[in-house]
Chain A
Amino acid sequence: MTVSNKRSKTRTIKVEALARVEGEGAMYIKLKGDKVSDVKLKIYEPPRFFEAFLQGRAYTEPPDITARICGICPVAYQMSSCHAIEDAFGVRVEGPLRELRRLLYCAEWIESHALHIYLLHAPDFLGYESAIHMAADYPEIVQRGLELKKTGNELMTLLGGREIHPINVRVGGFYRVPRVSEFKDIREKLKQAREAALATVKWVSGFNFADFEQDYEFVALAHPEEYPLNEGRLVSNKGLDIAVREYEEHFSEEHEPHSTALHSRLAARGPYFVGPLARYSLNFDRLSPLAQEAAREAGLAKVCRNPFKSIIVRSVETLYACDEALRIIADYEMPEKPFVELKPRAATGYGCTEAPRGILYHRYSFDETGTILSAKIVPPTSQNQKVIEQDLYGFVAQSLKLSDQDLQWQCEQAIRNYDPCISCATHFLKLHVERD
């Protein structure tokens, strides 16, 4: 980080952290006196390359191709694409295959949430520059997070064939499904992971949280019988209740002049919030009893509007994912066939699933041979960008007395509340604060 103090009243702070350059993320905040005059955020580039790359490809290819968009949430891309393709060809995947997909998704939630809670977000609350510095003082706690993440990896490897970019997922189901006996070892590990997740909820609920609540429009999937992962209607706390195929009638993506990124908006009302806080606040009653109890003990109400508390909600969801994975494994019966056959037809299909960071929408149009004519992908981070900017406006306005350094620290934390998927698109975050 470099801080430059010019003689004028304008001060600029730059954060430059470079490894592999994969685009550029930037945050720009302009203050005039004691007012925030501008906030611009550019953290996510939409996967336009992949949408173009998919045109002309076969209907069997999107699960493998789109999984490469993100190293942290490949399952989300596989699941949304599979559901969209099956929707186009009029096929539903039910029974044990549906349960196995849910199980695979639990693995991704455990892995992704554990990474964010322990290595990216917790250091903010405990005043450490990074998890490395935190590990020196809290080695057992960091180790607990790594073990939790590892159990997610192992479950992912068992079902997906390998832990990064699972290769065992195909349209209609899987290439190969596990025998009941193959779950023996992971079951024991998941029981330990559930204990670790419970301890995580207790640990993070003791952190200090900024006093910051907003009247968000939360958007998530909702399903009558289960906490949402793969299926449901798109609902909000402000009256939205639509089928996934109606997504583009209600949501739009707009070009922002300050970046190449597209910002999503609800046509009727503007910015909206996706991810753990939205899922939790719209689906509390469908969490398992254990997860509900842990949330209550952590001091969470059924609706949580403080984005800084997303670390508690993420921990509750990790606990739920362990609990749900154990339920699925206990009930599992090996299906006769690992996948459902599909017959291509000229049609358009829609899919939306709950990635760890929120809803991930896919739409594909096919010709009669199943060749892709067009593809559209809207990831959760591009949907949250507008609401993150809005948070920064509100948060900076109430934190003007902080030094540039502290302000930068807390703004980064405010962005991290959303677990933005910079790893997909950008590895490079620059921060500018300008004071006039």
Chain B
Amino acid sequence: MSSETEPAPVLVIGLGNAARHDDGAGLRLARFLEAEALPGVVVKVLGEPLALLDWWQDAVQVVVLDAVSSGSPAGTLHCFRADKEPLPAQFFRFSSHDFGLAEVIELARALGQLPESLTVYGLEGADFELGEGLSLELKQAMSTLLQQVKDDIYSPGHSC
């Protein structure tokens, strides 16, 4: 190993549930990114947001890809600088019984465990019913989304 410190890799994490159609969009995009084998980029996929806390412990720059449903057309890419501010209110679900991405980010912020740079990409889905495969709109948008996220990796939050 050289004595020079190598820059820490960019950690890209795909979240979601592939058994619920478009909820698997973040996972799919993460797999596409993994296949590109970008230098200095490490890709992970997770099914449960709380595990993020363990994964990003030593990371400096983190990119999270997740499906969202906000009423925009399917295939829309939302970008949030989560290191700077909480995800928008409609991403929260305090009253339900689950611990989602927005809550995990705020918990990490409260505990001082947020990575220095954290960008969240929300991939707008249309179909969240049980079943495999993405909806047509998302499939068609995938290559554009991939390019957009790739551009942003080297210039964090460029599309935000």
Contact = CB atoms under 8 A, between A and B. Distances in A.
Contact of B97 (A16, A21, A429): A429
Given A19-B101, A22-B23, A163-B51, A135 B107 contact: yes
Contact of A423 (B69, B97, B130): B97
Interface bin, chain B: 35 or more
Interface stretch (B86-94, B133-141, B150-158): B86-94
B79 interface: no
Contacts of A21: 69, 128
Interface string A409-428: 00010011001101100111
Given A19-B102, A71-B48, A120-B99, 19 more contacts: A1-B95, A17-B95, A17-B96, A18-B93, A19-B98, A19-B101, A20-B17, A20-B67, A20-B125, A22-B17, A25-B96, A49-B131, A50-B130, A68-B17, A132-B107, A135-B110, A150-B53, A153-B54, A429-B93
Interface of B: 16-20, 23, 46-48, 50-51, 53-54, 66-69, 90-103, 106-107, 110-111, 125, 128, 130-131
**Residue in B53, B90, B93, B103 with the greatest tally of chain A CB atoms within 10 Å:** B93
A364 B130 CA distance: 21
Contacts of B103: 130-132
19 contacts: A17-B93, A17-B96, A19-B93, A19-B98, A19-B100, A68-B17, A71-B47, A115-B50, A131-B99, A131-B107, A132-B103, A136-B110, A139-B110, A165-B47, A416-B97, A422-B96, A428-B93, A429-B93, A429-B95
A412 B100 CA distance: 18
Give the most central of A20, A25, A131: most B CB within 10 Å: A20
A22 B131 CA distance: 12
A153 B130 CA distance: 26
Contacts of A19: 68, 91-93, 98, 100-102
Interface of A: 1, 15-23, 25, 49-50, 68-69, 71-72, 115, 119-120, 129-132, 135-136, 139, 142-143, 146, 149-150, 153, 163-165, 412, 415-416, 419-420, 422-423, 426-429, 431
